[in-house]
Amino acid sequence: MIFLPASTALLLAALSRLGNATPLLSTGQKCRNVPGSAGFPAPTAWNAFNSTISGRLVAAIPSAEFCVNRGGCTDAEWTSAVFRNHIPGAMNQINWEQGYDLTPPSLCVVNGTACGQGDVPLYSVEAQTVADVQAAVKFATTNDLRVAIKSSGHDYLGRSTAPHSLLIHTNNLTNLSFTDAFFVGNESLGSAVTVGPGVHLTLIYQESKALGRIAVGGSAATVCAAGGYLQGAGHSSLSPTFGLAADNVLEFQIVVASGELLQVNSITNPNLFYALRGGGAGSWGVVVSATFRTFPTFNSTFGLFTLSAANNKAMAALATLHAQHIFDFEATNSSQYFIVEADLTGTTTTSTMTLETYMINQTVEQSQAIIAPFLTAAQALPGVAIVSSKYTYGLMNDLLNHPDDSVGNDLVMGSRLIPESTYRNSPETVGEVYQQLLDAGTPIIFGNLVAGGKVAENANIDSAVNPAWRTAKTHLIVINGWLDSTSQDNVNALRSKFRNTQLPILEQMSGPNAGSYSNEADVMEADFQTTFFGPNYAKLSAIKSKYDPDDLFIVGAGVGSERWDEWGLCTV
């Protein structure tokens, strides 16, 4: 998905609803060492460890405390993903820094003066080398510490932070290199790029441009390809043309729980290669590099259209029309982010639909012809108006390149992959679902038309990518947010709103057992094993027990997490 304007997200709290909180309790048997437990390393042991990693151990603090300590952060800094990347304790969505479920809750909100540590790690290893990563993994294993791994801190499920943990921060591993012939065994798999986990997508678009190449990457500037993106599956506006990002990976280098650095590809450690392509971020080890294909680049047209609907009924009609026309993009493998937003001030019944469309390899004239049937029909709908339309023609690298992403909000989401058959057979269901979601006070419904085409054709690839991707047309996300001033009860209601209210509505469109993309999802999914991993879960569990027998790498709703409490601190 792409980033929201800061103003949008700051208004999300207007949509807060009351509801019952779901307390999450832990009844631990075996627990990781935390400050105060007998096995927790003494200060001398931390100091000795710090010397082995050239002094790259820092005490992590919440981002709000970091800002207060440096005499304040501007609003532009607070909402900048690039700025937050350099704060070891920071997450991009600040709700993940908060310990809402700790007893008592431990919070640190913007400009807060009395700050708790919340869910922020204790210490961070600011890794510069593979040896730093290996030392951190060995220190954590020896001392039975909770480990968290972070590259960009973008994670929408809070999986790159954990209370009382040692963070392995891979933001500084920024190597990047291209080759015309990447070898696995004695076979050249062609042109490829190898990146460290600290490399942002935007840098890949910029650097590949000079070579006349492009790689499959997401719409966000600051997501890290070799971090969580590829491990989740990685969708892109180029996916209908070239497949998912995970479909294009050739090799990983990873430090596993034993501390060993492993080469992982179709020949060497093939089981881990299977797992790292779709088996879920953060569950396998610390990835220190990933290699994936590049393609000859080309020009495309980016079409940005905003439509308004006077009320939910008009938006429902527009959503049905959009569903009926979704196949208009198929012949060219074009892709689209389609975002419906309620009036976040809550003062009118007007909602908007924004269409960010990548017409692949098309001129502006060709693109106008592709979109015209939809826009013409939309204009004829009662209560619907076209607010603006804009076309930008250029190299795909430039169309995808942004300097930064706007973050710094409190938000959670839930999602489902929507089968192509829904759009083909019952597009009117789409409108009904949108109407019910909006009527239920949903602020944002975020659609990703990034499947079909090559994503469907790649069904034969033997990887952990959820097979629901192969029959999907879109990935649909429902977003809920709040302000720091929202009460804890309302925050808890919003955290549970997807499960309690929105999912039953969405399932009318997806069917009851549809999958979801694990990187843009609800960490509280009731049956995450099936929803995120489908039939692959048993195989993934077996691979995990081989490479991570003691569950060093546990993340929320990740493989093996059913054995652990919400924080990955005690077994259940």
Ligand X SMILES: *[C@@H]1O[C@H](CO)[C@@H](O)[C@H](O)[C@H]1NC(C)=O
Q: Which residues in this chain contact ligand FAD in the complex, by CB under 6 A?
A: 1-3, 92, 149-156, 159-160, 170, 197, 218-220, 223-224, 227-229, 232, 234-235, 281-282, 286-287, 405, 519-520, 555
CA 155 vs CA 158, 229, 507, 538, 570: distances in Å: 5, 9, 24, 25, 22
Which residue number places its CB atom closest to ligand FAD?
Answer: 227
Specify the residue, 83 or 537, whose C-beta has the smaller distance to ligand X: 83
What would the two tokens of residue 296 be?
């000859």
Q: Which stretch binds ligand X (CB under 6 A): 170-178, 203-211, 303-311, 370-378?
A: 170-178
Which residue number places its CB atom closest to ligand X?
Answer: 72
Specify the residue, 65 or 356, whose C-beta has the smaller distance to ligand FAD: 356
Q: How far is the CB of 223 from ligand FAD (least distance, A)?
A: 4
Q: Applying CB under 6 A, what is the total number of residues that bind ligand X?
A: 37
Task: Tell me how many degrees the CA angle 133-260-128 measures, rounded to the nearest 5.
Answer: 20
Q: Which stretch binds ligand X (CB under 6 A): 97-105, 126-134, 320-328, 415-423?
A: 126-134
Specify the residue, 11 or 223, whose C-beta has the smaller distance to ligand FAD: 223
266 binds ligand X (CB under 6 A): no
Total residues found in the chain within this entry: 572
185 binds ligand X (CB under 6 A): yes
In DSSP terms, 564 is beta-bridged to 571
Query: Which residue, 519, 513, 511, is CA-closest to 558?
Result: 519
Specify the residue, 123 or 547, whose C-beta has the smaller distance to ligand X: 123
365 binds ligand X (CB under 6 A): no
Q: Which stretch binds ligand X (CB under 6 A): 150-158, 292-300, 349-357, 365-373?
A: 292-300
172 binds ligand X (CB under 6 A): yes
| Chosen from ligand FAD, ligand X, none, partner binding at 155 (C-beta under 5 to 8 Å by type) | ligand FAD
* Residue choice 233, 288, 319, 464 for contact with ligand X (CB under 6 A): 288
Specify the residue, 187 or 489, whose C-beta has the smaller distance to ligand X: 187
Contact between residue 384 and residue 317 where contact means Cβ atoms under 8 Å apart: yes
299 binds ligand X (CB under 6 A): yes
Contact between residue 74 and residue 204 where contact means Cβ atoms under 8 Å apart: no
- Where does 210-284 have alpha helices with state H? 230-232, 239-242, 270-276
What would the two tokens of residue 110 be?
């913007």
59 binds ligand X (CB under 6 A): yes
The residue type at 46 = W
Longest Cα pair distance anywhere in the chain, in angstroms?
73
Q: Which stretch binds ligand X (CB under 6 A): 305-313, 345-353, 367-375, 450-458?
A: 450-458
Specify the residue, 416 or 454, whose C-beta has the smaller distance to ligand X: 454
Specify the residue, 409 or 502, whose C-beta has the smaller distance to ligand X: 409
3-class SS at 352?
Answer: strand
2 binds ligand X (CB under 6 A): no
* Residue choice 271, 350, 361, 508 for contact with ligand X (CB under 6 A): 361
What would the two tokens of residue 537 be?
């879960």
Specify the residue, 224 or 506, whose C-beta has the smaller distance to ligand FAD: 224
Q: How far is the CB of 378 from ligand FAD (least distance, A)?
A: 25
The residue type at 569 = L
* Residue choice 454, 470, 475, 544 for contact with ligand X (CB under 6 A): 454
First to last CA, the chain: 34
Q: Which stretch binds ligand X (CB under 6 A): 13-21, 54-62, 199-207, 501-509?
A: 54-62
Q: How far is the CB of 140 from ligand X (least distance, A)?
A: 15
Return d(Cα 359, Cα 375) in angstroms, integer. Answer: 15
**Parallel, antiparallel or unpaired: strands 166-169 and 123-126:** parallel
What would the two tokens of residue 189 be?
């798999």
Specify the residue, 2 or 58, whose C-beta has the smaller distance to ligand X: 58
Footprint of ligand X on 381-410 (CB under 6 A): 395
Contact between residue 502 and residue 521 where contact means Cβ atoms under 8 Å apart: no
Q: How far is the CB of 415 from ligand X (least distance, A)?
A: 24
Q: How far is the CB of 330 from ligand X (least distance, A)?
A: 9
Q: What residues contact 214, with CB distance under 8 A and at least 6 apart?
A: 205, 208, 238, 294, 295, 296, 297, 298, 396, 397
89 binds ligand X (CB under 6 A): no
Task: Tell me how many degrees the CA angle 159-161-164 measures, rounded to the nearest 5.
Answer: 130
Residue 77 — φ and ψ, nearest 5°? -70, -45
What would the two tokens of residue 523 be?
């960490």
- Where does 126-216 have alpha helices with state H? 130-142, 201-209
| Chosen from ligand FAD, ligand X, none, partner binding at 1 (C-beta under 5 to 8 Å by type) | ligand FAD
* Residue choice 191, 241, 471, 496 for contact with ligand X (CB under 6 A): 241
Specify the residue, 297 or 336, whose C-beta has the smaller distance to ligand X: 297
Return d(Cα 327, Cα 75) in angstroms, integer. Answer: 41
Q: How far is the CB of 556 from ligand FAD (least distance, A)?
A: 8
Query: Which residue, 327, 336, 358, is CA-closest to 421?
Result: 327
50 binds ligand X (CB under 6 A): yes
**Parallel, antiparallel or unpaired: strands 295-296 and 335-342:** unpaired
- Residue 27: exposed, middle, or buried by beta-carbon count in 10 A (0-12, 13-18, 19+)? exposed
Enumerate binding residues for ligand X (CB under 6 A): 50, 55, 57-59, 72, 74-75, 86, 110-111, 123, 126, 129-130, 171-175, 185-187, 196, 241, 288-289, 297-299, 332-333, 361, 395, 453-454, 457
